[in-house]
């Protein structure tokens, strides 16, 4: 609500967090607390640069064809002024060689003016041949302009780096062309409570397709517990076989083919649930290929998906920032393309620029039932320090096994602590609540029924396994079941509304 009110008032996303209810009591690192001062320093430096470079605007003369004649006239005026007769000239005129003396005085005056102009860095042509000094003068001015341009470019990069994604976060809510969302949190909570008490309403007349997110190819437990839970309920459930580090459009084509294969094999419509980038990929498949899939798909649920874009991806890949000097983009390219054998396009497709372009071209169909789910990560010191939330991953090795299969190295990653640190950074820098990767306001698909739970869950919650699970809290499989159950009800209601409209 705060984001929507801010957009209606014409205000942008704040660069620095305001004083919220959460207090850290001096536990925030100095890097976070110095961001407001850094922003102010960069702004002050930018203003100083503008004033400083403005002082040289009159001296950076470019001798184009139009300005050259004016410069020559100005030089001639100075020469004429310096050779105007005065009392000293009358004395000289009494000398028989007065004409030669006046010529000498004129030449001397011209040399004096020219020397003075060159000393001050002012472009000035001599009276003899005004075209001789043009190259030297422009070259002298050119060096000064280069220095100023480099300095101004550095300031602009610093401003762009500090500003980051402040102007992009929440753009979906600010776009008047996007349809409004509906709050379905209360209904979701009711369904989830029924599931925890053994009341399951998901129909077996549909097939459930789970679409994993970025780096899921290296997460052997991704969606496994959810699929197992659905199978125990007698439901047909599949995990989409996609290259998680591929581009959105490439995965959209693979998801489209998977949906058609499931439909023709079972003669049942498909209900999709995508997590993180998987939700973006699934939405892209339905947006691009809706004419082929509209009779085969019953609805879409996106969980913690950067539907509007991710500030993490945008801040890493934004061009023209200070990070370009240390080749941050090149390092990410090596990590994604060389280490995990992915495509850099996968991360680029999650930036705000790419998401804006894609959604303008491929919006979701209005008749498609959609449910959006997003959360907020806990950022307390206890969460930051804990290693109880871990993720099991498999990274490829350089060599290969004897059977020709690529060797994989099993690793354990403290994703819970990493997500908490990222969420704290986004909270302090932009004043936005997030799950550590996606800002909550960017995870709501326009026209969808939105679920906004109060429970603190980070972005990797569906991926990692907790060593100290609280039996009183719902697990990832139950949340997925509740989301899909809500989606079924939304679809039934939408069909009734469409039938009444046609009647």
Q: Between vectors from CA 370 to CA 434 and to CA 242, what angle results, nearest 5°?
A: 75
Residues 6+ apart with CB under 8 A from 416: 383, 386, 387, 388, 389, 390, 458, 460, 464, 466
Q: Calculate Rg over the CA atoms of the chain.
A: 33
Q: C-alpha angle 413/415/416, rounded to 5°?
A: 135
User: Do residues 17 and 33 make contact, with C-beta atoms less than 8 angstroms apart?
Assistant: no
Residue 501 to residue 158: CA distance in whole angstroms:
54
Burial 76-93 (b: 16+ CB within 10 A, else e): eebbeeebeeeeeeeebe
Token pair 């753009």: residue: 171
Q: What is the pLDDT of residue 412?
A: 54
For residue range 317-369, what is the model confidence (pLDDT) as tens digits?
A: 887 766 666 566 677 666 666 555 566 788 899 999 999 999 999 999 999 99
pLDDT of 374 over the 70 cut: yes
Residue 33: its H or E element: helix 30-33
Which two tokens mark 328? 């941050």
Under 8 Å CB-to-CB from 342, ≥6 apart: which residues? 243, 244, 245, 246, 336
More confident site: 204 or 146: 204
- Residue 222 binned pLDDT confidence (cut-offs 50, 70, 90): confident
Instruction: Please state, in angstroms and rounded to a whole number, the distance separating the CA atoms of residues 158 and 35.
Output: 12
pLDDT in tens, 1-44: 445 455 545 444 444 444 444 444 444 444 444 444 555 555 65
Q: What is the rounded CA–CA span in Å between residue 287 and residue 447?
A: 14
In terms of residues, how long is the chain?
Answer: 503
139-178: pLDDT as tens digits: 545 556 676 777 677 777 777 778 888 999 999 999 999 9
Handedness of CA 316, 322, 327, 331 (dihedral sign): negative
- Rounded CA-CA distance 314/164 in Å is 8
Measured over the CA atoms of residue 85, residue 87, residue 89 and residue 91, the dihedral's sign is positive
Q: Which two tokens stand for residue 426?
A: 């986004």
- CA angle at residue 281 from 277 to 283, to 5 degrees? 115
Q: How far is CA 341 from CA 221, 316, 338, 415, in A?
A: 20, 19, 5, 21
Q: How many helices (H) and strands (E) does the chain have?
A: 20, 10
Model confidence at 491, pLDDT cuts 50, 70, 90, reads very high
* Ramachandran angles phi, psi of 340, nearest 5°: -105, 10
Pairwise CA distance, residues 138 & 215, whole Å: 55
> Between residues 386 and 229, which one has the greater pLDDT?
229
How far is the C-alpha of 423 from the C-alpha of 435, rounded, in Å? Answer: 6
Domain extents in the chain: 1-8+28-163, 172-502
Could you report the per-residue pLDDT of 300-319, keeping only the tens digit for each?
999 999 999 999 888 888 87
Cα separation, 419 vs 432, in Å, equals 14
Taking only the tens place, the pLDDT of each residue in 453-467 is 998 888 988 876 554
Read off the pLDDT band of 255 (50, 70, 90). Answer: very high
- Six-digit token pair at 444? 């709501």
**Tokens 């397709």 -> residue:** 209
Please answer whether residues 436 and 475 qualify as being in contact, where contact means their C-beta atoms are separated by less than 8 angstroms.
no
Q: What is the pLDDT of residues 267-301, one digit of tens each?
A: 999 999 999 999 999 999 999 999 999 999 999 99
Quote the CATH superfamily of domain 172-502.
Alpha/Beta hydrolase fold, catalytic domain (3.40.50.1820)
Task: For residue 194, give the 3-state DSSP assignment.
Answer: helix
Instruction: Round to whole Å and give the CA distance between 73 and 386.
Output: 77
Question: And the tokens for 75?
Answer: 């030089």
- Token pair, residue 149, equals 């341009």
pLDDT at 77 over 60: no
Find the farthest-apart pair of alpha carbons in the chain and give their distance in angstroms, rounded: 124
> In the predicted model, what is the mean pLDDT of residues 80-90?
42
């Amino acid at each position: 609500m705060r984001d929507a009110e801010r957009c209606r008032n014409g205000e942008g996303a704040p660069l620095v967090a305001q004083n919220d209810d959460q207090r850290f009591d001096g536990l925030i690192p100095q890097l976070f607390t110095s961001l407001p001062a850094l922003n102010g320093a960069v702004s002050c430096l930018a203003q100083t640069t503008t004033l400083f470079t403005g002082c040289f605007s009159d001296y950076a003369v470019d001798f184009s064809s139009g300005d050259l004649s004016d410069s020559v006239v100005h030089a001639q005026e100075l020469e004429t002024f310096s050779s105007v007769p005065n009392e000293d000239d009358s004395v000289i005129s009494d000398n028989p060689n007065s004409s030669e003396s006046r010529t000498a005085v004129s030449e001397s005056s011209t040399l004096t003016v020219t020397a003075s102009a060159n000393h001050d860095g002012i472009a000035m042509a001599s009276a003899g041949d005004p075209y001789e000094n043009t190259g030297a003068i422009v070259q002298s001015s050119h060096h000064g302009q280069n220095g100023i341009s480099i300095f101004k470019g550095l300031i602009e990069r610093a401003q762009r780096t500090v500003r980051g994604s402040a102007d992009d976060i929440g753009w979906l809510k600010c776009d008047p062309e996007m349809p409004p969302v509906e709050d379905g949190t209360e209904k979701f909570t009711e369904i989830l409570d029924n599931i925890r008490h053994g009341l399951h309403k998901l129909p077996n007349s549909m097939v459930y397709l789970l679409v994993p997110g970025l780096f899921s190819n290296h997460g052997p437990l991704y969606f496994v517990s959810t699929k197992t839970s659905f199978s125990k309920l007698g439901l047909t459930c599949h995990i989409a076989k996609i290259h998680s580090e591929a581009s959105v459009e490439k995965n959209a084509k693979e998801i489209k083919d998977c949906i058609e294969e499931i439909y023709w094999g079972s003669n049942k419509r498909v209900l999709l649930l995508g997590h993180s980038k998987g939700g973006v990929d699934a939405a892209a498949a339905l947006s691009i290929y809706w004419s082929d899939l509209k009779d085969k798909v019953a609805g879409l649920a996106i969980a913690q998906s950067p539907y509007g874009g991710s500030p993490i991806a945008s801040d890493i890949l934004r061009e023209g920032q200070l990070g370009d000097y240390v080749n941050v983009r090149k390092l990410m390219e090596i990590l994604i393309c060389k280490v995990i054998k992915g495509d850099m396009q996968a991360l680029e497709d999650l930036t705000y620029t790419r998401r804006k372009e894609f959604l303008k071209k491929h919006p979701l169909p209005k008749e498609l039932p959609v449910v959006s789910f997003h959360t907020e990560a806990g950022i307390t010191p206890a969460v930051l320090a804990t290693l109880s939330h871990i993720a099991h991953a498999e990274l490829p090795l350089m060599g290969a096994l004897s059977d020709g299969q690529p060797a994989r190295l099993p690793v354990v990653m403290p994703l819970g602590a990493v997500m908490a640190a990222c969420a704290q950074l986004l909270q302090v820098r932009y004043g936005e609540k997030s799950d550590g990767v996606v800002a909550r306001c960017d995870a709501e698909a326009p026209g969808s029924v939105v679920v906004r739970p109060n429970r603190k869950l980070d972005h990797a919650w569906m991926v990692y396994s907790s060593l100290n699970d609280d039996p009183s809290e719902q697990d990832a499989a139950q949340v997925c079941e509740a989301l899909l159950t809500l989606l079924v009800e939304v679809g039934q209601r939408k069909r009734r509304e469409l039938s009444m409209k046609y009647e």
